[in-house]
Amino acid sequence: MLPDDRSPGDPLPAALVRELRNRSGLTQSEFAQVLGLKGRRATVSAWERDDGTPCDGPVAELILRMFAPPRMGPVAESLVTKADAIWRRHGGPLHPYRELAFSPSNVAEMPVSDIGSLYEDTALPREQVQYGFPLNVTHNRRNAVATVDGWVGVLPRQAAESPAKYLWLLDRKWQFLHREYAYEAGDPARWPWQNLGIGFLLRLAAQATFFLKRLYTRAGLEASTVVTGRYHLVGAEGRGFLFEPMSTRFVRVPPADVASTHVLTGRLDTTVGALTSDPVVAALELTADLVARLDLDAAAGSKLREHLVRLHTHDLAQGAGSREMGFLDDIL
């Protein structure tokens, strides 16, 4: 939506301002307040009208810095657009939320004949992750469906008249997206100060990379294929990261630092060969790049690995039917 030759300060298209605000889940008044323009809802409204006052100068650069995700290529962006449409159903979107997206470069399309069997062949089994990963079955009901374009899974189910809380998409370019509501931030009684748990980020990243190992092996992708991974945390402003203890699930201390921007983003540039040979390293590196946006000390590789080991040790004690990290049993 932005021209390649755009210079800093050039006006933003009205449609882009609308899209970024809608994706953030903020009203026009809230959007203005986040930008330091309290009480200036009319200003945002004008930016979003094709015939209104253009959004340019320093505030345009601030909006891009705070709300625009890094570009992952036109196909991956279309996957995010599809996810946004589902996420905003029935009064959504819910935020804060975590989003992982992975895009392999220059790969052949998935054969239509493979779509029907792909999930059973590649998903992490329920013995390892209690509802499977990507999420498929809850309360003995399937939440994922195959289409000619790939796979889509959503919870509550698409027919439910409530906002989505879990969502994943897989398209025929072998691109994968998973989004989930950061539920710990929505429980201030047990997780005060709106903290975000680093363990939740780590667990999700590990589930995703181990799933991708199975997916890329099934796809027969070349080891040299470049893979771009992105970890997106939307609704981060005013929230901080903490390592949660395993004895009690929630942490009753304030974080050392809180985010000053609505979106935090981590990135991983790797290859199919590197990811499939060591998905643990891929999960740690991607999580570290996100956490480092706010807390360099917590993002240290040794600390994240130690916490992953603690998470797995805690998971081992949960017993059959309640596991989330069984795929690590023979590794950590």
pLDDT in tens, 223-259: 999 999 999 998 888 888 888 766 555 566 677 788 8
- How far apart CA 7 and CA 17 sit, in angstroms, is 17
For residue 132, give every residue at least 6 positions away whose Cβ sits within 8 Å of its Cβ, in sequence order, or none: 123, 124, 125, 126
Closest C-alpha to 72, from 203, 231, 282, 283: 231
Q: Which amino acid is at 235?
A: G
pTM assigned to the model: 0.81
Specify the residue for token string 């201030």: 188
CA-nearest of 308, 254, 316, 253 to 285 is 308
Q: How far is CA 167 from CA 6, 89, 145, in A?
A: 34, 12, 12
Residue ranges of domains in the chain: 14-67, 74-328
Domain 14-67 annotated CATH 2.40.50: no
pLDDT at 101 over 60: yes
52 pLDDT above the threshold of 50? yes
Phi, psi (rounded to 5 degrees) for 313: -60, -45
pLDDT digit string, tens, across residues 158-204: 666 677 888 999 999 999 999 999 888 766 666 666 788 899 999 99
Beta-bridge partner residues of 51: none
